[in-house]
Amino acid sequence: MEDADDAESPSDDAAPTTNGHANGITKGTSNGTANGTSNGSVNGTANGVAQRNGATYSYQQTKSLDTVPESEIAAFLEKQEVRIIDPSNSNLRPVIQFSQLPSSTLLSKKPFASFTSPTPIQSASWPFALSGRDVIGIAETGSGKTLAFSVPCVEALASSAKPKSSKNGRTAHARAVIVSPTRELAMQTHAAISSLAQLVGLSAVCLYGGASKDDQRALLRKNSGADIIVATPGRLKDFLSEGAVSLESVMFAVLDEADRMLDKGFEDDIKLILGSCPPREKRQTLMFTATWPNSVRVLAESFMVDPVKVTIGNRTRAGDEDGEGNGTVELQANSRIEQKVEVVDPRGKEQRLLELLREAQKGSAKNDRILVFCLYKKEAVRVEQFLDRRGIRVASIHGDLPQEKRTRALEAFKAGTTSVLVATDVAARGLDIPEVKLVINVTFPLTIEDYVHRIGRTGRAGKLGKAITLFTEHDKSHSGSLVNILRAANQPVPDELLKFGTTVKKKGHDSYGAFFKDVDMSKKGTKITFD
């Protein structure tokens, strides 16, 4: 049997929610100040100026934002389904327009010239992150999370003095670290944050596996320590262990795609990386993700101080809230994506794929970008060769492909040189591939979470998208979960799919199977005394 690709398994979907006020903001119990600072983590004053680990945070709501009617703010939060849980009761308003951000050296360079307005996750999280607060952001893929953490990161570093250079020229002392689960996502994040960092004289370096360590060491030395390091966990651990990188001066830490970063495989890695940074009280920590499982939430919050939780989207079932926004989250697909499921004979999948591609790329749509997902690496190679022999401009990315070829394939797809990209789940999370018109699942993924993240490659940034899934009898164990996803998004459910049943298979543990129960170990047991 073929091995599944090297991408990590996704986790259950969960997120904090609120039964809060009409404006979508739930107040906590901590004693904070009106400027969004928390006494437990940031020493704030009434004028909006705070100090944290050498950085000065002077976020103040602008007059243009202050004058926006409360009804307009409430309407924005309701329409965008924004929920904010703030332990410090700071009531910071979302930044609806870029012009409502306070002036700074970075913003004076007009970094948002190519955008019309902030995305909801940016609007809601920026005021808190720019105030020095720890932030947990939960939003669908393609929602602008990268810019949501990149702007406050660059602002924090630009407002603080660089530490004195170490006498040891072999060690790079980073001031910000951003950890990503995959090479492609790390490279994409590096490109985005570098464009901002360069505007204020900061440097950024990307460290990831599959590329030369010597070349990356040279980049670290060339950049005199690199203000910002974007890295995958394995490569960063290597550089930490050999003393090439030090995180002792980190004042800003980000876990991107945090659910995967903290899930089973990366838990120890993240503990080591964050343990190499200053204590949580002396750094600012942000986590942005599409899902937030209960088991990860407890661990994640141990890394943070009074985090503000920002959730975008109606992701919680009614009645599941516990009063603190910790609800059980129901996995949902992007409502802007038209989903279609075709039940087919397993032997006819490739021919049906060819028909779908030719139909989708007729006439003026001949150059439309289409992303084709396979489950196995060998399957991806086979499908790519099948399409190439039939005249389709196609490339592929999968775990066996060298990094250089993966990068070239992605760039060709983004540039339109190839219009069809065949991928395994290595590309299903985090990657920002613009203008993907259609996603086709040739083989159903291992989990329903991966299905949602696969189709999330289209319909990004507020645009419409389409996803077609070829479903076979081999996938029938997923039929119940898929039916739930389709119904929740008001998508048609074919009768052929219903014939496989609507029972949702209980989620098991890798080691303990269906007998595993996810227990919150942070809760203390009840002491019972017997007479």
User: What local confidence, expressed as pLDDT, does residue 455 receive?
Assistant: 93
> If we measure between CA atoms, which residue out of 177, 115, 107, 110 comes closest to residue 149?
177
| Confidence at residue 108, expressed as pLDDT on a 0 to 100 scale | 86
Q: Quote the pLDDT of residue 428.
A: 58
pTM: 0.73
Q: Consecutive 10-residue runs of the chain (531 residues): their mean pLDDT?
A: 38 34 43 38 40 67 92 94 91 93 88 89 96 91 88 92 66 94 88 95 93 91 83 94 94 88 76 94 90 71 90 57 46 89 96 97 92 92 96 90 87 92 76 87 90 89 92 94 94 95 63 43 51 45
54 token code pair: 């050498």
Residue 93 — φ and ψ, nearest 5°?
A: -80, 150
Q: Which CATH class is domain 337-498?
A: alpha beta
Element (H, E) at 189: helix 183-197
What radius of gyration, in Å, describes the C-alpha atoms of the chain? 23
Residue 99 neighbours by CB under 8 Å, 6+ apart: 64
Give domain limits for the chain. 25-312, 337-498
pLDDT of residue 507: 54
User: Taking a C-beta distance cutoff of 8 angstroms, is the pair 237, 265 a contact?
Assistant: no
| H/E stretch holding 262 | helix 258-262
CA angle 376, 409, 194 (to 5 degrees): 115
Taking CA atoms, 59 is separated from 46, 127, 133, in Å, by 11, 7, 11
d(CA 492, CA 315): 21
How many C-alpha atoms does 244 have within 13 Å on its Cβ side?
19
Question: CA-CA distance, 250 to 526, in Å (whole number)?
Answer: 40
Residues 245 and 273: beta-carbon distance below 8 Å: no
Do 337-498 and 25-312 have the same topology in CATH?
yes
- Whether the CB-CB separation of 280 and 305 falls below 8 Å is answered with yes
Classify domain 25-312 at the CATH topology level.
Rossmann fold (3.40.50)
Element (H, E) at 339: strand 337-343
